[in-house]
């Protein structure tokens, strides 16, 4: 029987949180596109997009009945519930940009745990931002 090659994971999109569902995200070639048309009304500085002012007003997590989902107590907690809510959020890209550009290290932002070095890197990659080369990233 002939073996089929395994599909490589999409390098831009985050891993599937449940049952093969892909999370919505920015344009696939976001890192190559710096014009206002691709990033909507987000402000750009050079080629780095900035979150829209007031994006938090439209966030799916705003006023959620379980705000503790976005601040898991245990480092090993996968925060699946928060990531599921994030997957439906209309301002997910703005949320991710805020976390990535401010080097946020607490909570779940745009469906990524920012207390995890691996997920912070995945977030930057998902947004099409260059990796951080600070050399001081430590595993939590």
pTM: 0.61
Mean pLDDT of the chain: 73
**pLDDT single digits (tens) 43-78:** 455 567 888 889 999 999 988 888 888 887 776 676
Predicted local confidence at residue 111, as pLDDT: 93
CB atoms under 10 Å from CB of 8, counted, come to 6
In contact, 5 and 11? CB cutoff 8 Å: no
Predicted local confidence at residue 36, as pLDDT: 35
How crowded is the C-beta side of 55, counted as CA atoms within 13 Å?
Answer: 20
**Domains of the chain by residue range:** 56-127
First-to-final CA distance of the chain: 44
Predicted local confidence at residue 27, as pLDDT: 44
How crowded is the C-beta side of 16, counted as CA atoms within 13 Å?
Answer: 7
Predicted local confidence at residue 75, as pLDDT: 64
In contact, 17 and 23? CB cutoff 8 Å: yes
Distance (Å, whole) CA 40 – CA 94: 11
What percentage of the chain carries pLDDT values higher than 70?
Answer: 57
In contact, 72 and 120? CB cutoff 8 Å: no
Checking if the pLDDT of 12 tops 90, the result is no
């Amino acid at each position: 029987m002939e073996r089929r090659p395994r599909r490589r994971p999409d390098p831009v999109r985050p891993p599937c949180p449940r049952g093969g569902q892909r999370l919505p995200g920015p344009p696939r070639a976001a890192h190559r596109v710096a014009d206002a048309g691709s990033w909507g009304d987000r402000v750009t500085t050079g080629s780095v997009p900035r979150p829209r002012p007031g994006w938090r007003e439209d966030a799916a997590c705003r006023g959620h009945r379980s705000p503790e989902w976005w601040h898991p107590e245990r480092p090993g907690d996968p925060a699946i519930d928060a990531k599921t809510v994030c997957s439906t959020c209309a301002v997910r890209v703005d949320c991710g940009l805020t976390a990535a550009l401010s080097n946020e290290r607490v909570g779940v932002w745009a469906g990524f745990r920012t207390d995890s070095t691996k997920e912070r890197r995945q977030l930057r990659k998902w947004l099409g931002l260059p990796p951080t080369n600070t050399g001081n990233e430590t595993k939590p």
